[in-house]
Amino acid sequence: MTKPLHIVILAAGEGTRMKSALPKVLHTLGGRPMLMHLLDTAAALQPAAMHVVVGNGAEQVRAACSERPVNWVLQAERRGTGHAVMQAMPHVPDGASVLILLGDHPLIPLQDLQQMLGDRSAALAVLTMTPDHPTGYGRVIRDHDDEIMAVVEERDATPEQLKFREVNTGIIMADATKLRGWLDGLGCDNAKKEYYLTDIFSLAHAERTRILGVLAPDARDLQGANDRRQLAELEGRYRSRRAGELMDAGVQIIDPERIDIRGSVITGTDVRIDVNVVLEGDNRLGDGVAVGPGCVLKDCDLAAGTTVHAHSVLEGVSTTGVCDIGPFARLRPGTVLAAGCRIGNFVEAKNARLGEGSKASHLTYLGDSVIGRHVNIGAGTITCNYDGVNKHRTVIEDNVFVGSNTALVAPLTLHRGATIGAGSTLSKDAAADALTVSRARQATIKGWKRPQKNRDMK
């Protein structure tokens, strides 16, 4: 019978080298806290329970991950990794397998953990790696039979031990009953006067317990983030991984080093994404969608054939057919564009629905609007939807032509086929199939002299 799996995540570190008031595990990777990435990976292992040990900023960490079904364990006095695991063990039953993870190691590959869990009969196992630069990691010490006998923290290692390249990732699996005994035997006779979790290896070796070492195939996925530089390195690794997933799905990415994917992306065939694009939240890009350089898309659903030109920012936008957007467009939540719509440069829309073939080519604001089919919105048009207290709707029916520099004071309806003269300010509905003009009469004042500066004044 397979042992139940209990996962313990150590997330109590202060992260002093981050030089931040934010708890270490809440620093973001791909737009999400590091701890959230690890919780996703841990959940995929389908454990019986997950226990997260928190300390510094415990309330913030709980709040950020409140939707996750985890058991929060407080390490009120932080006295090392061994002490942190001790706090979680009262929640772990005998007969379970305990998998210990580090909250600041967000990119641990699921397959590495699955490989480690493949043999639950081992009383103690550790995931190791051989990074190009092992500085900062505890060294794995093996005996003449190549069996693991200890893990020595770098600050306590001898010059000879520091030459070893195989290091501890901090990912450990142990039998719960055995682990309890080893934790009871920990001391704090070391440079930091802390209870090191890694001291359980020497205790297990002394009992002639075989320690299983699982060597990770790629050390880059197992790096932690102790400072801003390391976090940036992880960000680059994460960016490369996500870009690779999209390219494997058939997306053309012009430069995989210059794309940021901070959420889920579902794509059709022949999608093209240019440089410096940021994809946040949940995005769906249909067949043949093209996203130009410098664009930001968040929670968008773009229909097949839609083109988003350079430096446009879209959030909560849906297109239902082929549309042309940008450059420099700003489309906010609730914007829905039907097939054939054209939104040009320096156009902003919010909670606006545009019917088939309608267009606003430049310098326009459309807020809280329902716009019909084949409507033309001239440059400089604004819907005045906010009276300082409430929002009001503008309705523009099919085949309306709105001239440039027009202000539409909502609530307002422009009826089917209406034409609005340029420079108008409308606060009343416009009649169907008629010209509506509201502007001051033009006058020329003959003999008028432009004021001149008085040269006698000092």
As annotated, the active-site residues are: 362
What angle, 0 to 180 degrees and rounded to 10, lies between the N-to-C axes of helices 81-88 and 176-184? Answer: 130
Q: Which of 227, 165, 173, 178 lies closest to 207 in space, CA to CA?
A: 178
The pair of three-digit structure tokens given for residue 177, joined into one six-digit string: 């009953």
3-state secondary structure the chain: CCCCEEEEEEECCCCHHHCCCCCHHHCEECCEEHHHHHHHHHHCCCCCEEEEEECCCHHHHHHHCCCCCCEEEECCCCCCHHHHHHHHHHHCCCCCEEEEEECCCCCCCHHHHHHHCCCCCCCEEEEEECCCCCCCCCEEEECCCCCEEEEECHHHCCCCHHHCCCEEEEEEEEEHHHHHHHHHCCCCCCCCCCCCHHHHHHHHHHCCCCEEEEECCCHHHHCCCCCHHHHHHHHHHHHHHHHHHHHHCCCEECCHHHEEEEEEEEECCCCEECCCEEEEEEEEECCCCEECCCCEEECCEECCCCEECCCCEEECEEECCCCEECCCCEECCCEEECCCCEEEEEEEEEEEEECCCCEEEEEEEEEEEEECCCCEECCCCEEECECCCCECCEEECCCCEECCCCEEECCEEECCCCEECCCCEECCCECCCCEECCCCCCCCCCCCCCCCCCCCCC
For residue 199, the one-letter residue type is D
Q: How far apart are CA 141 and CA 166, in angstroms?
A: 8
Tokens 């600050």 found at:
155
Cα 426 from Cα 422, distance rounded (Å): 11
